[in-house]
Structure 1
Amino acid sequence: MIRVSLSDQAYSGVWGDNALVAFESDGAVVHYSGDYPLRRIQQAARQLQSQGVVAASLEGEGWSYERQWAFYCGFATTKAAVELKWASIDEDELELLNARRRSADWVRQVVNATPEDMYPEKLADEALSFLNGIAGEHISHEVVVGEALAQQGWAGTYNVGRGSSRPPVMLTVDYNPTGDSNAPVAACLVGKGITFDSGGYSIKPSASMVTMKCDMGGAATVTAALGYAIEQGLRQRVKLILCCAENMIAGNAYKLGDVLTYKNGLTVEIVNTDAEGRLVLADGLIAASETKAPLIINAATLTGAAMMAVGPDYNALFGFDKELLMKAQQLSDLVNEPAWPLPLEKWHQSNCPSYYADTANSRAQKGGGMGGASNAAAFLSRFVDTDNSSWVHFDLASCFRDSADSRWSAGATGLGVANIAALLL
């Protein structure tokens, strides 16, 4: 186990001027002076890990909570577990670091799993097991699988998943620490759980499809966020709804030109089977609205357009409640998980017109056309009771890296978990 200490002085010497990491006889020193010190610390941890270091002990002065977490983010790896000993800090902060790491590690475990191993029912089982391990005495759940989805009117999840040999699932988890079965639901979380996305008949090219095991990142993120919030002392009733499916091609798969009728009566023409995430989320948002929760949060790896707009280091935020959006952005800064609001107004709902239904699920153009991320958010807004609930949509542009870079290993990052947990708290 290598000892790692911090220095706020720029390095000049045998390891190169302004080196992030310098090695000494008793370990390594991270030099974080300069712009964006947390990014520099994360880059230094990534350098150590890429050189084969898999066990580190953070020692000496200067290791604040934020700096230790930045080091962990760079040190965590895709293929192997790493061992990290936190520096001596306040006991409460130590508990918070451990809880945050448990949530982030769980996200990595399920998002990075192969799509053969992480299918809809398995994702639901893993989410339930994770939350039961944290607060099982306060948790109840309901699972709706396969044809039962159609019978209950969950049109989006059923139709997106019906082409797979492995059935779609809607999982509802009720975390109720009050002990009162009539307690109001304070918040509802909804996650997109597409465990593999071929694009359906609007099939993706191989280069775009190869990482589509990440398309259940929204479901993983909201599940981990609930777990992390519980570990921080969440005492209000919260419901979690995961809409899980594989978007596959088969003789019984849903098709371009199909029209789906949702439980709220809205009809949707399918003009792009690769715009499937919004179809399953619509079910979850209807169910969330039925709880009358004053706060509804959904998360999804929804659009490439959001990634084009904010890049891989930010999540995109949408909603009609500007005060809530500002709060979400402020909390993202507080927990060092950058997020940024993008445009959304009621009139965006008319940007995906249909001759045959109330709306289309996209536009028949590459990427959904101009303003694709806003149009997708507007589609979701049609299924939220925004008159009675404040709603925020996280388009998770930063929750997954297709390949390793200077700060992150390939795969899931966990970005968004702490931001959503902070909103719950």
Structure 2
Amino acid sequence: MSELKVTEVMSVALTKDTPAAHWGKADVTFAAEGALVHLSGGDELRQIQMAARKLRNQGISNVALSGSLWDLNSQWVFAQGFATAKPGYKIQWCGDAEVQAELQRRIEVATFARQLINETPENLSPVKLAQQAAKWLADIGGAKVSYRIIEGEALLAEQWIGIHAVGRGSERPPAMLELDFNPLAADAPVSVALVGKGITFDSGGYSIKASEGMLGMKCDMGGAATVTAALGLAIKSGLNKRVKLFLCCAENLISGRAYKLGDILTYKNGVTVEVVNTDAEGRLVLADGLQAASATGAPFIIDAATLTGAAVMAVGSNYNAIFSPQVDVLQLAQQKASTVAERVWPLPLDPWHKEMCPSSYADTANSRPVKGGGAGGASNAAGFLWRFVSPEAKWLHVDLAAAFEDSASALWGAGATTHGVLTISELIKG
């Protein structure tokens, strides 16, 4: 970040000393030289992120991290706690040049994702989301990046049934972004395929959300922003493998053209789906993206989506839920998340989860016709998605329970958190 005058900056240091008696049990204290964050053992990264929130809540906007106790992850979690949806805050890093360079890369991609997710939905149509993601990656990857955007009725011509159905109720057309990052030979195999849910606003459709549940639904393209930012970070870090990205972009609105409960969608792979809840739209668009990803022949497919409230209920808003048929994939995701100070937790996914949304009229329904999709809703959603994944590929589904905060918490400012970007970037890099 840009240099600041010393007089404008508060120094923030870490210490393992207990605060002076007159500070009581305070974990953040102040002296002439600046603020001290007192670490008390246990989960110190969590303590640091909470301390950053406290400092930011006091109106402090410009800080310089100082002292020998800061490392890469402690500085990063401080930055995550210090961030807000509104601009006007700055952090000066410390440590060696390599650490500072990595932090700069992280903050650049996190800023991109945060601004995209926090953008008002009026300013971010499905096509514009696809365009902005593609342009940002092309600016990073240069000639190694190629892409096309399929929009509106052209989706039907290519049998991307789910994206078209969910998005047809809006005056602004739905779109799929197909992007190829290839630093190798033209015929190089695809190593990883990424899929992101890009619902730029989710009213719930005819299964309309209550106002308080709809307010934050600009965040429903958080999966698209997350996988885009993750790929951008990997490219900035010197990625030398071929990766394809598919963003499934639509607005889920109500009109005379909107899809309806009872509709049956026939997907490209022949699977028929009865719509029993138009608010379970994310899995309908991801089904197209997962088929496109499978067609690349990539041995590893990762999708990310703000998919279910059930995942939030299961793991809370400080973890992302992960699903995979392969235990080694879950273990790898947990290991990668741990190295970058992010949190993931596996939830059940068994073959019988594919059958947990039965239909009398189609191969499957898109949910269960009960509030919230019923018990095990996050696993049932993952089971639905599994129908559209190549059996030859390893697959990780990330339900982004921790991607957005409706209001500020002890760890996060209100809005996008970007939690999950680093984990997926590490998985891309391998």
Matches within 5 A, 1:56-75: 56-75=63-82
Aligned to 2:102: 96
User: Following TM superposition, by how much is the alpha carbon of 1:370 offset from its aligned partner in structure 2, in angstroms?
Assistant: 1.1
Q: Which runs of 5+ in 2 are unaligned?
A: 1-8
Please say if residues 194 and 245 of structure 1, whose CA atoms lie closer than 8 Å, have aligned partners that are also in contact: yes
Matched, 1:335 2:343: no
Q: Structure 1 unaligned segments of length 5 or more: list them.
A: none
TM-score under structure 1 length normalisation: 0.98
Contact 1:12 1:18 in 2 (8 A): no
1:7 pairs, out of 12, 15, 28, with 15
Whole-angstrom distance in 1 between the partners of 2:99 and 2:342: 18
Q: 1:371 Cα deviation (Å)?
A: 0.8
Assess if the C-alpha contact under 8 Å between 1:12 and 1:19 holds in 2: no
State how far apart, in whole Å, the 2-side matches of 1:110 and 1:81 are.
Answer: 17
C-alpha distance in 1 between matches for 2:83 and 2:378:
30
Following superposition, the deviation at residue 133 of structure 1 comes to: 2.1
Cα deviation for residue 255 of structure 1 reads: 0.1
Whether the aligned pair in 2 keeps the contact of 1:189 and 1:241 (CA below 8 Å) is: yes
Which letter maps to 1:111? I
Partner Cα separation in structure 1 for residue 51 and residue 328 of structure 2? 37
CA distance in structure 1 between the aligned counterparts of 2:88 and 2:252, rounded to whole angstroms: 31
Residues 181, 244 of structure 2: 8 Å contact kept = yes
CA distance in 2, matches of 1:393, 1:160: 21
Aligned partner of 1:79 in structure 2 is 86
| Deviates further, 276-285 or 54-63 | 54-63
Give the C-alpha shift of residue 406 in structure 1.
Answer: 1.2
1:141 to 133, 142, 147: 147
Distance 2:428 2:399 in 1: 18
Cα shift at 1:346: 0.9
State which of 178, 200, 204 in structure 1 corresponds to 2:209.
204
1:81 CA displacement:
3.2
* 1:353 lines up with 2:358 in the alignment: yes
Bigger mean CA offset, 64-73 vs 194-203? 64-73
1:120-269 correspondence to structure 2 within 5 Å: 120-178=126-184, 180-269=185-274
Query: Which amino acid counterpart does residue 4 of structure 1 have in structure 2?
Result: V
2:298 is aligned with 1:293: yes
Shift of 1:174: 0.2
* Residues in 1 aligned to 2:96 and 2:335: alpha-carbon distance in whole angstroms: 24
Does the aligned pair in 2 maintain the 1:343–1:374 contact within 8 Å? Answer: yes
8 Å contact kept, 1:195–1:214: yes
- Give the C-alpha shift of residue 176 in structure 1: 0.2
Equivalent residue of 2:123, what SS? coil
What secondary structure does 2:372 align onto?
A: helix
The superposition leaves residues 309-344 of structure 1 with CA deviations (integer Å, 9 ceiling, x where unpaired) of 111111001110111111111111121111011000
Q: Counterpart of 2:367?
A: 362
Partners of 2:396 and 2:361 lie apart in 1 by 29
- How far did 1:138 drift? 0.7
**Aligned AA for 1:74?**
G
Q: Deviations over 1:147-173 (max 9, x none)?
A: 101121100000000000111010011
Whether the aligned pair in 1 keeps the contact of 2:168 and 2:259 (CA below 8 Å) is yes
Once the two structures are TM-superposed, the CA of residue 422 in structure 1 deviates from its matched residue by: 0.8
TM-superposed CA distance for 1:78, in Å, is: 1.3
Distance 1:37 1:212 in 2: 32
Q: d(CA) in 2 for partners of 1:325 and 1:34?
A: 28
Distance 2:12 2:270 in 1: 59
TM normalised by structure 2 equals: 0.96
Q: Secondary structure at the match of 1:121?
A: helix
Which of these residues, 268, 276, 289, is aligned with residue 271 of structure 1? Answer: 276
Q: Which residue of 1 aligns with 2:411?
A: 407
Letter in 1 for 2:178: T
Q: 1:12 Cα shift?
A: 3.0
- Which stretch has the larger CA shift, 244-253 or 122-131? 122-131
**1:44 maps to 2:48:** no
- The question of whether the paired residues in 1 share the 8 Å contact of 2:138 and 2:146 is answered with no
Secondary structure of 1:302's aligned partner: coil
Cα displacement (A) at 1:34: 2.8
Counterparts of 1:374-413 in structure 2, within 5 Å, are 374-386=379-391, 388-413=392-417
Q: Which amino acid in 2 is paired with 1:79?
A: K
Q: What is the rounded CA distance, in whole Å, between the counterparts of 2:88 and 2:388 in structure 1?
A: 41
Counterpart in the other structure of 1:22 = 29
- Alpha-carbon deviation of 1:215? 0.4
The structural deviation recorded for 1:35 is: 2.2
Q: Distance in 2 between matches of 1:92 and 1:176?
A: 26
State the identity as a percent.
Answer: 56
In the alignment, is the contact (CA less than 8 A) between 1:197 and 1:212 conserved in 2? yes
Q: Which amino acid aligns with 2:111?
A: D
**Structure 1: 4+ residue segments shifted above 4 A:** none
3-state SS of 1:116 partner: helix
The whole-number CA distance in structure 2 between the counterparts of 1:92 and 1:79 is 29
Kindly provide the amino acid, as one letter, of the partner of residue 10 in structure 1.
T
Contact 1:22–1:30 (CA<8 Å) still a contact in 2? yes
C-alpha RMSD over aligned residues? 0.9
1:255-285 deviation per Cα after TM superposition (whole angstroms, max 9, x unaligned): 0000001111111000000000000000000
- Counterpart CA distance in 1 for 2:46 and 2:287 is 36
Pairing partner for 2:117 from 94, 111, 118: 111
In 1, the alpha carbon distance for the partners of 2:375 and 2:337 equals 27
Q: How far did 1:68 drift? A: 0.7
